[in-house]
């Protein structure tokens, strides 16, 4: 990881190929699912100024293709040789991101900025300081201007970087200075429009306004007190314990393989397509296990958990739309697993790799035909005639 990778013919042609496949998949999805779409989300800064502005559909399509290029760069920086192609290929092949992009998901745009920022960080870690710094600052500022949730988690990310010592203090100071400087208009808008801030916060962060669990607590306490267990119910069934349990459930569920590799949580609230094909589950577990063995990778994985916070703050237990910003981390673990399986000479690993490929191809075929034959009807059955998904 010393220099910016060379953009050779192979790199270009493979990316072109991946983008073509991605566009074909998107075309199939758009043709089948149109006019189903996610509700448009306004950019944070413009919402504060009461001049709603949202990301247009064409920009989301561009962003999803930028993501392929970013992942290719990141893959090339990490692995160097031809193995880099696995990372963007996972983005292209799995239904998660094409699905959300075709439905006009705002979080695809955020994922783009996050990937560009990660790319910048990797550049900083290599010798090319200035390019990395420019890219990181540009993406970071745009992220902060775009989403309140990112605005909330951004300080956590900085604190995490400082604690885990992923960068030198000097580098963090420089980056923070420029980002804060460029964000001055945003801070001013927040101070000027505190009511607007509160409204946006209430819309975006729904976990704290969850009334359901307060009802449950009252119901449990009432029943226990009737039977003479007043003290015990106060200890074990108070709102703080219940909220802590609810939060734990959300966190664990956002990190369970079934969430990512099966249609347990429905994509866009109606689909039977899994976010990631089931066949990738073994390489993922293998990759995760290998990554956790290295302290540096474990630190990076720990820090990346911040990206599940938007999903945790959602009303749903798992929000696959918001969780898409965490998808590159899952793809990275899968790539790592696949590469290690491929490099290993063990017979059992070869068998796993073979089974993965077979299963993925079968599921890909099944999923595409299912999308074509059933997804629209499935949407009609679950959501009725309203084509806007909230």
Partner 1 sequence: MIKLQVILLLLAITIIGAVLRFTNLTNNPPSLNIDEVAYGYSAYSILKTGKDENGKFMPIAFRSIGDYKSPVLIYSLVPSIALFGLNEFGVRFTTVLAGVLSIPLIFLLINILTHNFKISLVGAAFLSTSPWHIYYSRFASDHMMGTFFLMLGFIFFHKLLAGFKVWLPAAIFLAASMYSYHSHRLFIPLFIGSVLIFNHRIIRPPNIKAFLAIFIVLILPLIFLTLFGPLNTRAQMVFLSQDIDYTRYVILDHIEKSGENSLLFFFWAKRYLNYFQPDFLFFNGLNMTSPGTLGLGVLHLFEFPLLVLGIIHLIQKKSNFKKLIILWILIGLVPASVTNNEQSAGRSLLILPALVVVISLGTIYFFKIVKNLSNIFLKTAVLGLLTLLTFISLVHAFLVFSVYFPNERGEAFMEGTKETVLYALENKDKYREIVFDPYRGIEAQNIVNIPYMYVLFYSQYDPVKFQTEQKENQGEIFKFDKFVFRRIDWRQDRLKRGILFVGSPWSLPLQDIREEEILKKIYLTNGNLALLVVSPHPD
> What are residue 38's DSSP bridge partners?
389
CA distance 94 to 220: 43
**Measured from the CB of residue 246, what is the shortest distance to partner 1 in angstroms?**
7
Q: How far is CA 53 from CA 40, 222, 234, 259, in A?
A: 9, 47, 47, 32
- Number of residues interacting with partner 1: please give it, by CB under 8 A: 44
Q: 189 vs 276, which CB is nearer to partner 1?
A: 276
**By CB under 8 A, what part of segment 188-227 binds partner 1?**
212-213, 216, 219-220, 223-224, 227
Q: 203 vs 382, which CB is nearer to partner 1?
A: 382
CA distance 206 to 200: 11
Tell me the per-residue interface mask from 228 to 257 with partner 1, x by CB under 8 A, - otherwise.
-x--xx-xxx---xx--xx-xx--xx--xx
Tell me the per-residue interface mask from 257 to 286 with partner 1, x by CB under 8 A, - otherwise.
xx--xxxx-------x-x---x--------
Q: 12 vs 241, which CB is nearer to partner 1?
A: 241
Q: 54 vs 266, which CB is nearer to partner 1?
A: 266
Exposure string over 155-191, b if 16+ CB within 10 A, otherwise e: eebbebbeeeebbeeebeebbbebbeebbeebeebbe
Tell me the per-residue interface mask from 305 to 344 with partner 1, x by CB under 8 A, - otherwise.
----------------------------------------
Name residue, tokens 């209430």.
202
CA distance 46 to 42: 7
Written as six digits, the tokens of 222 are: 């009432």
Q: Is 349 in the site for partner 1 (CB under 8 A)?
A: no
CA distance 177 to 72: 29
Q: 176 vs 264, which CB is nearer to partner 1?
A: 264
**Measured from the CB of residue 355, what is the shortest distance to partner 1 in angstroms?**
13
Q: Is 289 in the site for partner 1 (CB under 8 A)?
A: yes
Q: 209 vs 215, which CB is nearer to partner 1?
A: 215
Q: From the centroid of its chain, how far is CA 314? A: 13
Q: Is 301 in the site for partner 1 (CB under 8 A)?
A: no
Instruction: At 38, give phi and psi (nearest 5°).
Output: -75, 150
Q: 162 vs 252, which CB is nearer to partner 1?
A: 252
**Measured from the CB of residue 25, what is the shortest distance to partner 1 in angstroms?**
18
**Measured from the CB of residue 239, what is the shortest distance to partner 1 in angstroms?**
12
Q: 201 vs 242, which CB is nearer to partner 1?
A: 242
**Contacts with partner 1, residue ranges (CB under 8 A):** 212-213, 216, 219-220, 223-224, 227, 229, 232-233, 235-237, 241-242, 245-246, 248-249, 252-253, 256-258, 261-264, 272, 274, 278, 289, 362-363, 366, 369-370, 373-374, 377-378, 381-382
């Amino acid at each position: 990881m010393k220099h910016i990778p060379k953009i050779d013919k192979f790199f270009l042609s493979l990316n072109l190929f991946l983008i073509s496949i991605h566009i074909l998949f998107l075309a199939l999805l758009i043709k089948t699912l149109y006019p189903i779409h996610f509700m448009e989300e306004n950019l944070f800064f413009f919402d504060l100024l009461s001049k709603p502005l949202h990301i247009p559909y064409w920009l989301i399509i561009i962003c999803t293709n930028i993501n392929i290029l970013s992942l290719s760069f990141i893959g090339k920086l990490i692995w160097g040789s031809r193995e880099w192609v696995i990372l963007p290929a996972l983005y292209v092949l799995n239904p998660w991101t094409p699905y959300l992009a075709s439905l006009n998901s705002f979080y695809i745009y955020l994922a783009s900025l996050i990937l560009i920022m990660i790319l910048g960080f990797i550049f900083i870690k290599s010798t090319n300081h200035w390019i990395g710094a420019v890219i990181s600052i540009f993406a970071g500022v745009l992220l902060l201007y775009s989403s309140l949730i990112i605005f909330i988690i951004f300080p956590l990310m900085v604190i995490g970087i400082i604690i885990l010592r992923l960068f030198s203090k000097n580098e963090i100071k420089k980056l923070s200075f420029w980002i804060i400087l460029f964000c001055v208009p945003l801070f001013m808008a927040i101070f000027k429009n505190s009511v607007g801030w509160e409204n946006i916060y209430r819309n975006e962060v729904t976990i704290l306004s969850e009334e359901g669990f307060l009802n449950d607590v009252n119901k449990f306490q009432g029943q226990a007190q009737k039977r003479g267990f007043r003290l015990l119910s106060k200890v074990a069934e108070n709102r703080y314990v219940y909220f802590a349990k609810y939060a734990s459930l959300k966190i664990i569920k956002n990190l369970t393989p079934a969430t990512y590799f099966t249609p347990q949580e429905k994509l866009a609230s109606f689909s039977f397509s899994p976010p990631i094909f089931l066949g990738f589950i073994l390489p993922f577990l293998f990759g995760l296990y290998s990554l956790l063995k290295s302290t540096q990778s474990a630190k990076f994985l720990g820090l990346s958990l911040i990206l599940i916070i938007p999903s945790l703050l959602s009303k749903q237990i798992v929000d696959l739309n918001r969780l898409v910003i965490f998808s590159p981390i899952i793809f990275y673990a899968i790539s790592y697993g696949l590469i290690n399986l491929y490099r290993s000479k063990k017979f059992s690993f070869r068998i796993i790799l073979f089974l993965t490929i077979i299963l993925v191809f079968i599921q890909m075929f099944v999923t595409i035909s299912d999308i074509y034959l059933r997804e629209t009807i499935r949407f009609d059955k679950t959501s009725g005639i309203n084509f806007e998904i909230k």
